Amino acid sequence: MSFKKLVFSGVQPTGNLHLGNYLGAIRKFVALQEQSDCIYCVVDMHAITMWQEPAELENSTREVTAAFLAAGIDPTKHIVFNQSRVMQHAELAWVFNCVARMGWLNKMTQFKDKAGKDRENASVGLFAYPTLMAADILVYRATHVPVGDDQKQHLELTREIAQKFNHDFSDRIRDLGVGVEMKSGEETVHGFFPITEPVIEGEATRVMSLRDGTKKMSKSDPSDLSRINLTDDAETIAKKIRKAKTDPQPLPSEVEGLKERPDADNLVGIYAALAGKTREQVLGEFGGQQFSVFKPALADLAVDKLAPIAAEMRRISADRAYVDQVLRDGGERAGALAEKTMKDVRRIVGLLGD
């Protein structure tokens, strides 16, 4: 036996999807579906770890779904659904809460960043949501997850949880005949969960603000000029590129020359990602040129790649019944897979059922 290759990933529905979401996640989802079975989730349960206006959450969930579909994800060949439709995510998360250690969660830097100084008032969900993320992935026994740089730590926690579960219940998994013989360090165990691998590839895995190349592009930035929203029209996209922060020097001919120039590095990375090139190739074409030459070329490229997606998103979003049907169908298919996993998990840990 071995684990069948399966890709899982999710996007939070917190409104205003932007270029960073597209380049860092959604575009990869589209590429991966050509070579793997894929499950793509709108993680609405993660979103409520911080307060969300209920009506806005509903709209944002549909918007992310529309973005998936507009970018080219095929919901008939793969699964697209929202997390809360499949109760087994929360059920497995509780099992993982009992497997994970407090020390592991205390190391999670994203909780510290989001909770800020007033951690005592942060929700328990915000602290524990890495175990839910692990459950999202492992309830389907997914083998690969496309992740951005900021999620690598959470995927490492997922791997630690899987390893501990496999180790703790190895004999039980063997006796029930539901696992795979696998290496865990120097030891051979009977594992039920795969040790999920990250998929990190391509340029612009971390897209920065157009107004400050040292900060990540964010939907929460008060300046709309700091990001390109996936709903922006062609004129708005071009304007934001024109107004993007740069420095007075021409572009270097070598990547090394971008090291101390975060704004230039960000724009070159965006061009490379949109064009399907490396930074080296972009600098081979534009090295020595002023930004007055490079920015119009980047604006034309961004409009060419993103404006059609924005138009398709608007078209799909207008058909709410279709979006809801995609999520309903995806939820049913995902739920069947998740329940198959949970039936075995309940037996492995000793929870009595039918």
Name the pLDDT band for 336 (thresholds 50, 70, 90): very high
User: Is 77 considered catalytic here?
Assistant: no
**For 292-325, how does the pLDDT look when each residue is reduced to its tens digit (9 = 90+)?**
999 999 999 999 999 999 999 999 999 999 999 9
At residue 42, does pLDDT exceed 80? yes
Q: Considering 216, 245, 277, 343, which one is annotated as catalytic? A: 216
pLDDT at 203 (0 to 100): 61
Q: Considering 219, 239, 245, 277, which one is annotated as catalytic? A: 219
This prediction's pTM? 0.89
**Of 19, 47, 13, 46, which Cα lies nearest the Cα of 217?**
19
Average pLDDT of the residues of the chain: 92
Supply 121's token pair: 């008032």
pLDDT at 148 (0 to 100): 67
User: Is 295 considered catalytic here?
Assistant: no
Q: Considering 114, 239, 245, 343, which one is annotated as catalytic? A: 114
Mean pLDDT across 254-263: 94
HSE at residue 82, side-chain half, CA atoms within 13 A, is 24
User: Is 4 considered catalytic here?
Assistant: no
**For 57-112, how does the pLDDT look when each residue is reduced to its tens digit (9 = 90+)?**
999 999 999 999 999 999 999 999 999 999 999 999 999 999 999 999 988 887 87
**For 142-169, how does the pLDDT look when each residue is reduced to its tens digit (9 = 90+)?**
999 987 666 778 889 999 999 999 999 9
